[in-house]
Amino acid sequence: MQPTTERVPPDAPIDDAHTPAPPTYWLTRFVILRLLGVVYFAAFLSLARQVLPLIGAHGLLPAAAFLARVGERFGSPLDQFLVLPSVFWVSTADPLLVVAAWTGVALLLVVALGFANALVMAVLWALYLSFIHIGQDWYGYGWEIQLCETGFLAVFLCPLLDARPFPRRPPPVAVIWLYRWLIVRIMLGAGLIKLRGDSCWRTLTCLYYHYETQPIPNPLSRTLHFMPRWFHQLGVLFNHAAELVAPWFAFGPRHARHIAGAVMLALQIILILSGNLSFLNWLTIVPLLACFDDSLLRHVLPAGLGRAAGRAAAVARPARAQQLAVVALVALVAFLSIGPIRNLLATHQVMNTSFDPFALVNTYGAFGSVGRARDEIVFEGTTDAVPDDDARWKAYEFPCKPGDPLRRPCVVAPYQPRLDWQIWFAAMSTPERYPWTLHLVWKLLHNDAGALSLLAGNPFPDAPPRFIRARFYRYAFAPPDDPSGAWWTRTLVGEWLPPLSRDDARLRRFLAAYGWPTDE
């Protein structure tokens, strides 16, 4: 008699009715890849719509000039690539940047609809890594390398060629565990940097300020800001529970793991609702989904998906080549985890750092310090001949950052208006530390179409202004019952940039020092 080879569906009980089957991850893989596709889509769409005015040939920080400076320091093309891996060493021509960005968008529409394989995920990873390495200030955020690490693991979660939502190849359990290792590092890194970085996290007072001073608040931020202080203190306690306690159970028994995943998920949803933190929180949900297995997900996802997963499991066949690749991946991640572990244990922990040029295993953190007040730079222009306070100054509005106190905060995440973000950082410093702000002024003095595409509108549609200045304001949320209907109050602090014109010798010398053309 031949032994039977009948397959059991995911999570079916085995011989002993009281002993559950080992966890399976068909639905886990499905939701990880779908959400990763959504995050990648937001990232590539943001890139495609802003790449030329930011890093194109006539952008604020041209990529070609950046790569030329890097190339001068490293002799051979191989050395250049190993220090800064990017396909754009071949060319940074504007058409290539645009085609590469929109190629990513197109591929991600396919992934988000349910189709992904290792080849597609590898192309997306390589493209995004290439862009962030030439993105300079605009791509210096922690979620960029987090997306690269998350996307690299996804290459090994998929079969090489089969792109169906439920392919014949089973999900490699080791990759699920690597995703859990990723969420542990993300959450512990964020929790530890808070305790080490700012006393308000220890005194439970950070949320007194956070909703108002975060980079880009949304409409709900004001409501949360005016909640009672006990509410904010409980919020900090919950944050600590999600970032410092829950991650320890990511590798625990099924029920403990599910509860830990739910706590971490709740924190990310709260953060999504309370502000515009780009795609950071959406991305952080991706690896924490590895805490959930099919035994849970089949109860919260449509029944049809569960049946499709069961049919795939019934005919599943592991691929020897994929198994070998996953073994190599585990060994590589284990070796590259030495640096991040040391950083987590270090007294002087750093946030959001890569320990290898391919951003394969990184260290993370967020809001190690929280601002107590919100300062904003407001750019203004005038067509008057004399740029004094009696001139008719018109403000440039940005897509989302606070400007006009009457304008309601926007909802934009997971999309990221990158100029808005960098202006938020610039307001904490000086123009010399953010030289591209002078390049922006020069372009506004010429009604440059690329620079204006990064703004909410052009107050000088008929002719460019004669002068541009930047003023420094202190902003605060207006009470919800303010009779004026304003969302913000603001107080003038001083001048961030003096009035500058196209003929200003100081401006021309500054731009020339950075190699930015000043020919009319």
pLDDT tens string 275-315: 999 999 999 999 999 999 999 999 999 999 999 999 999 99
Is residue 95 located within the same domain as residue 131? yes
Residue 235's CB is within 10 A of a number of other CB atoms, namely 20
pLDDT exceeding 70 applies to what percent of the chain?
A: 96
Domain count within the chain? 2
Domain end residue (candidates: 305, 333, 363)? 363
Is residue 441 located within the same domain as residue 346? no
- Mean pLDDT across the stretch 201-216? 97
- Mean pLDDT across the stretch 446-467? 96
Find the angle CA(372)-CA(416)-CA(474) to the nearest 5 degrees: 25
Q: What is the pLDDT of residue 19?
A: 60
Which has the closest alpha carbon to 301: 155, 114, 164, 147? 114
Asked if the structure places residue 15 within a domain, the reply is no
Is residue 113 located within the same domain as residue 256? yes
Distance from C-alpha of 448 to C-alpha of 432, rounded to nearest angstrom: 22
Taking the C-alpha atoms of 62, 67, 72 and 76 in order, what is their torsion angle to the nearest 10 degrees?
A: -160
Is residue 355 located within the same domain as residue 444? no
Q: What is the pLDDT of residue 8?
A: 45
480 residue type, one letter? P
Asked if the structure places residue 10 within a domain, the reply is no
Asked if the structure places residue 6 within a domain, the reply is no
Q: What is the pLDDT of residue 519?
A: 75
pLDDT(11) > 80: no
Is residue 187 located within the same domain as residue 304? yes
Is residue 134 located within the same domain as residue 194? yes
Asked if the structure places residue 20 within a domain, the reply is no
> How buried is 122 (Cβ within 10 angstroms: 0-12 exposed, 13-18 middle, 19+ buried)?
middle
Q: How confident is the model at residue 35 (pLDDT cuts 50, 70, 90)?
A: very high
Supply the range of the domain harboring residue 476: 374-513
- Mean pLDDT across the stretch 208-214? 97
111 residue type, one letter? V
Q: What is the pLDDT of residue 318?
A: 87
Distance from C-alpha of 196 to C-alpha of 267, rounded to nearest angstrom: 20
pLDDT(250) > 90: yes
Is residue 250 located within the same domain as residue 353? yes
Q: What is the pLDDT of residue 76?
A: 86
pLDDT(448) > 90: yes
- Mean pLDDT across the stretch 397-419? 96
Q: What is the pLDDT of residue 205?
A: 97
Which has the closest alpha carbon to 513: 442, 445, 441, 435? 435
pTM: 0.93
Model confidence pLDDT, tens digit, residues 83-129: 999 999 999 999 999 999 999 999 988 887 788 999 999 999 999 99
- Mean pLDDT across the stretch 314-332? 93
